[in-house]
Amino acid sequence: MAFEGEVWHVRRARDTGESGAQPEEIGEILIDDADFPWLSGRFRAGPAYGAVHDLFARELALAEGDDAERGKRWEAAYAEIERRVRLVSPDGPVAAFLLHIRGDRAWFRWSDESSGPARPEG
């Protein structure tokens, strides 16, 4: 599986209940490292990134802790990401994903089958 050089898109979910016309493109990830199951690459923010920037920052801060209370707060934060964000491969949307964004870097894993959140690695 050659992933390097692919462009994956991070898009706003269409069923969030937010009113008005909102930009759809949160950003794109140019894959430059594939350590399966994790892919990582350069993140280029799109027009909708500002609406989720703080959510990704909070999720990552919570993911870096290891106490039980922080784990519960991480699950709530990541559930909000799953509600508001879609990850789209070159072949189309993926069913489930774990995505982190920090600055101009993003790293993620995905599955073609939906599943509940798992404690993040990496």
- In this structure, how many other beta carbons lie within 10 angstroms of the beta carbon of residue 5? 10
At 7, the amino acid letter reads V
Q: Chunked in runs of 10, what are the mean pLDDT values of the chain (122 residues)?
A: 91 71 87 94 97 96 85 94 96 95 97 64 50
pLDDT confidence of residue 64: 87
Tell the residue number behind the tokens 């462009």, with chain if given. Answer: 7
User: Cα(43)–Cα(12) distance, rounded to whole angstroms?
Assistant: 15
35 Rama sector, left if φ>0, alpha if ψ -120 to 50, beta otherwise? beta
- 4 neighbors 33 (Cβ within 8 angstroms): yes
Tokens at 109, concatenated: 């894993």
